[in-house]
Copies of this chain bind each other. A is one copy, B any other.
């Protein structure tokens, strides 16, 4: 029985529908027999299970009183140093005190939205964009404005006009192996965005969980290397390179933003799991991460190639798709008269699933798009899934 009279505030300021769509879709991956290209799940057989087990056991054996206890809001000192080192080695000098450990990079986005965004502020987002990031900004009361694309990049001229018109607080981007599209912004395009951010005084939130999963092509520098100021704040994650179940991510921040982030983090969960952080720091120190990353890159690259090879006979004539150099996703544009959401029912009847692209657009959904994940299954299952997709889409 419920006589509660207060309306949940959340329902007034956030339309949970898109969120529920994707949640329901991902639930399909759990149906027995369905081959789902919908989820963004790393392949569990590529987790370094022995390494993770050994690291948890080591820290629980040697320092149980410490790793089971409360710990600093900013994060484990060894882990912060290791994350900072990984940035520095890749050409972005970073100090341990610049790193705030978060409960997954999702929390990094949530804290940034709390620290930077007031109700009514404009946040510029790519079109399409990562759904759960849009949720964070929407919950903080932001008005989301989509920046149009030009080719494989962001339309810099349009960005300049939008910045002038809206005085945005921030631009949110996943520049490398973007979710949902898999696209990577060029060095030149990144520099344009950073220049505009400095000119108009907005922050760039560079969400970068996939950059280390590169299977071909040359690395593109982080946007933070292109700014002599603190304009670019980065979020990162161990979810795609170690294990998502640990919920370990971070924000690479700066003296201007950090105090507010720490207050927000303290209110959010005091700190991230002490034992998970200690185990991850131990694992990084063991040197096993690089070997396992190499194994993942090889296998994921093979899976990407398998999917790319199979798409021509799986998709209707007139479809097109990109060839990402890494990450987890590729993006399909169907002929304009097709609606991916409507096709999904037929796909599920054929025991295969994908995510329709429409929910990833903040404002103007393109209904003839879909996101396909290529990393969860081994090549033979990908091929079988594409066979089913071909059967489902035989229109």
Contacts and interface: CB of A to CB of B under 8 A. Distances in A.
Interface of A: 1-6, 8-14, 16, 19, 23, 39, 41-42, 44-45, 47, 49, 52-53, 56-57, 60-61, 64-71, 73, 102-104, 106-107, 110, 114-119, 121, 132, 135-136, 139-140, 169-170, 198, 201-203, 228-231, 239, 243-247, 254-257, 259-260, 263-264, 266-276
Contacts of A70: 39, 41, 239, 244-245
Contact of A256 (B2, B71, B201): B2
A140 to B, nearest CB: 8
Contacts of A139: 114, 264, 267
Contact of A9 (B41, B49, B118): B118
A44 B68 CA distance: 8
Contact of A64 (B49, B201, B267): B49
B10 A114 contact: yes
A118 B114 CA distance: 14
A374 B48 CA distance: 42
B116 A119 contact: no
Given A3-B231, A275-B246, A53 B44 contact: no
Contacts of A47: 64-65, 68-69
Given A10-B114, A245-B274, A69 B56 contact: no
B13 A263 contact: no
A1 B273 CA distance: 33
A259 B57 contact: no
Contact of A118 (B13, B69, B231): B13
Contacts of A231: 3-4
A71 B239 CA distance: 12
A109 to B, nearest CB: 8
19 contacts: A1-B228, A4-B229, A4-B230, A4-B257, A9-B114, A9-B118, A9-B140, A10-B114, A16-B259, A19-B263, A23-B73, A56-B56, A70-B244, A70-B245, A71-B245, A103-B269, A107-B269, A139-B264, A244-B274
